[in-house]
Amino acid sequence: MEIKKGRNVRWVNIEKPTEKDLSWLVKEFGIHPVIVEELRGPSARGRVEAYKDYLYFIYYFPLYDKEDESSVRTEIDFIVTKDSVVTVHYDPVSDSMAEFDMTACNSSLEVTYQLIEHLIGFEERQLRHVREKVEKVGKEIFKDKEKEVLEQITYLKRDVSEYRIIVRLQGPVLHSLLVKGKKFWGDNAEIYLNDLMGDQLKVVNQIDDYREAIGDFEDTNNQLMNLKVNSVMKTFTSLSFLTFPFMLIAAVFSMNTRDMPLVGLPYSFWIIIAIMAAGMAALIVYFKRKGWF
C-alpha cells in the first residue's frame, strides 16, 4: 500500500490487495462487503456504482506484452470519497503511473480526473509501437517480401483488435461515470468527465485509423501475392502448351511403322529436331505478340 497526499486529498494505491489491505479499507471507508469481494481479484466487466459516501468503478486499459506481441487487459478499481481516491490493481502498472503528480490536486475529483487522464495519455504513447509497425509494413510491402509482410500483418491485426476491444470498453464506463459523478461531486464535475470522454474517443479514432490502414495493406499484399501466383501459373500453362505438340511429334516418330516419313533419310534425327525447334520458336513469337508469354 502506498499513500500520497495533496492539498486537501490523498491517494491510496494498492497492488495485489491482501486481507490486511481489505480490512483497512473497510475500517477506513466503510465499504460494502460486496465491494470487498470484488476487490479480491479481477472482475469480469467494467461498471460504475454510486453509494452514499463513495463511488466505486472498474476501469480497464491496455498494457503491451512484448513477449506475446499483443495488448492485454489490465484492471484498476477506483474507490472515490470526497477527500480520498483509492486505486486497486492486480498487475504491475508502475510504468503507467510513474509520472503522475498529485501535489496540485485540491479534490478527489481532480485526482480521479488526473489519474484517468494520465492513463489515457499512457495509452496514446503505447500506440507508438502500433504506428511503427504499420509504417514498417508500408515500407516493405513492395519489396518482394509478401510472405514476411503477411506474417507481420497477422500479428499486428491481433494486437490492434485486442487493443481496440479494451479501449472501447472504457466508453460506457466513462459515460456512466459522467452521469453518476455529477450527482456525487456536483455539476462542476461535468467539464472534467466530458474531457475524459473526448480524450478516450481520440484514442479510439487513432486505433480505428491504424486498423483501416492495416486492412488496406493486407488487401494490397494479397493482390501482389495473387499477381505472382497468376504469373507463375500463366508461365507453366504456356510452357505446357508449347511442349505438348512436340512431345506428340516425338511420340509419332517413335512408332515403328512402315512408310514413316523422313525415317531412314540421312540426318533424319536432326531434321526432326529442327522442325520441332522451328515450330516452338514460331509459337513463342506468336504468344509474345498476343501478350500470353
Q: Report the distance separating Cα 257 and Cα 8, nearest Å.
A: 112
- What contacts 66, CB < 8 A, 6 or more positions away? none
Q: Which of 151, 10, 163, 158 is nearest to 87 (CA)?
A: 10
Q: What is the pTM of this model?
A: 0.74
Task: Put residue 52 in one of left, alpha, beta given phi > 0 → left and psi -120 to 50 → alpha.
Answer: alpha
Q: How confident is the model at residue 284 (pLDDT cuts 50, 70, 90)?
A: confident
Burial 248-261 (b: 16+ CB within 10 A, else e): eeeeebeeeeeeee
Q: Are 138 and 10 in contact (CB under 8 A)?
A: no
Q: Are 182 and 135 in contact (CB under 8 A)?
A: no
* Domain definitions of the chain by residue range: 2-226, 229-290
Per residue in 98-151, pLDDT (tens digit) is 567 777 788 899 999 989 998 888 888 888 888 888 888 888 888 888 888 888
- What contacts 204, CB < 8 A, 6 or more positions away? 164, 167, 168, 171
Q: In the chain, which residue ranges form alpha helices assigned H by DSSP?
A: 19-29, 33-38, 94-97, 108-140, 146-185, 189-253, 268-290
Per residue in 246-278, pLDDT (tens digit) is 776 676 666 666 666 666 667 676 777 787 777
Per residue in 36-80, pLDDT (tens digit) is 888 888 887 888 999 889 999 999 888 877 777 778 888 899 999
Q: How confident is the model at residue 86 (pLDDT cuts 50, 70, 90)?
A: very high
Secondary structure (3-state) at 162: helix
Q: Which of 35, 167, 133, 11 is nearest to 84 (CA)?
A: 11
The rounded radius of gyration (Å) of the Cα atoms in the chain is: 35
Q: What is the CATH code for 229-290?
A: 1.20.58.340
Q: Are 195 and 162 in contact (CB under 8 A)?
A: no
Does the domain at 2-226 match CATH 3.30.460.20? Answer given as yes
